[in-house]
Each structure stands twice: as structure tokens, then as C-alpha cells.
Amino acid sequence: MAVDPLTIKAYNDRASEFSMRYRALAPTDLQEMAGAFFHQGEPTADIGCGSGRDAAWLRDHGFPTVGYDASPEMLAHARAAYPNLEFHLDSLPDLATISPGSYSNVLCCAVLMHIRREDLITAALALARVLKPGGRLLLTYRHSQGQDEREPDGRLFTAIPSGKLILLLESAGFRVVMST
């Protein structure tokens, strides 16, 4: 299993455009949350690292970070922009190459919505599996900007109401401490 194939194709086809756009943004809210909640100096995974922007910020702020993404083209751009960072091809829902308990911190920024509805529980369990006991997950997602769950470029945006997302995470063993 992997991220929705049409979504991967969209990111592969538009990797240059997406990488430039994402690196031009400074997600200060996300950075503040990571800085406040992540375990400083502890192993950190950026699941769905895309352009590498967040993995680089985390590393530069004291979180030894490894990035993972489903798109080979996005990974190529991340490696070119941040050659001193480690990036691997892997994806939700399985995170098959990551050993259990590998990370104290996991960032999963704008990825979960690209998972098919029937794979969401597997994805939540995989996120829980790769975290060490007491580890922290920072997860963000957004809804499609179109009329349905598939955007014109083919990317899947599975709708996940916030209450159902909290229940999903709690059923996978997470304790949700904040939701905005």
C-alpha cells in the first residue's frame, strides 16, 4: 500500500513547482508548535517531507531529522536543496522501512489527507508504531479546495472531520493534547 497513486503522480509531475512554492513559505505556526512540543535533540521524522523545508528547519533548530516521502521527484528536489539531510522513499499508510520506536518526534504535515479513507487506521497505527514511548506527533491536514475529494491535478484530499481525526488518533493509542 502507498499514498494514493494519482496523488504521487501529481507531486512527481509538478515537483519543481511544488518545491519552489513550499520553500518560499515560512510556516511559523507549525515551527512554533514543533519548537514547543517536540523533544529537543531527539530523533525526528518528517513523514511526507516533500521539498525538505520542514526537515531542514527542524534540523537547524536542534531536532536531528530524517525525511520520508512517497514522491521520488519531490525527494530529488529535497536532496538537491538540502544535501546534508537524510531523505528516504517511504510513505503512509505503512511506513514499511521505519523500525518500531525509531523516533521521539514525528511531523506529519499535510499528508494524512492523501491517504484513502480505508487506509486511515493503518496510517494512524504506523505513526504510533514508529514513535518511541512518550514520543510526540505533530499532524496537520487540509481539505480539498474543490467540490469533491479529488483536486483537478489528481491529488486526493480525503475529508476527515476534526472529531473523527481525534477518534482515529486515540484509537491508535495517541493522547491528543491539542487540536486547532
- Render pLDDT for 41-93 as a digit per residue (tens, 0 to 9): 999 999 999 999 999 999 999 999 999 999 999 999 999 999 999 999 999 99
Gap between the Cα atoms of 65 and 67, Å rounded: 7
Angle between helices 5-13 and 15-24 (to 10 degrees): 80
- The mean pLDDT of 102-126, rounded to a whole number, is 96
Q: How confident is the model at residue 145 (pLDDT cuts 50, 70, 90)?
A: low
Q: What pTM does this model have?
A: 0.94
Residue 9's closest CA among 171, 156, 180?
A: 156
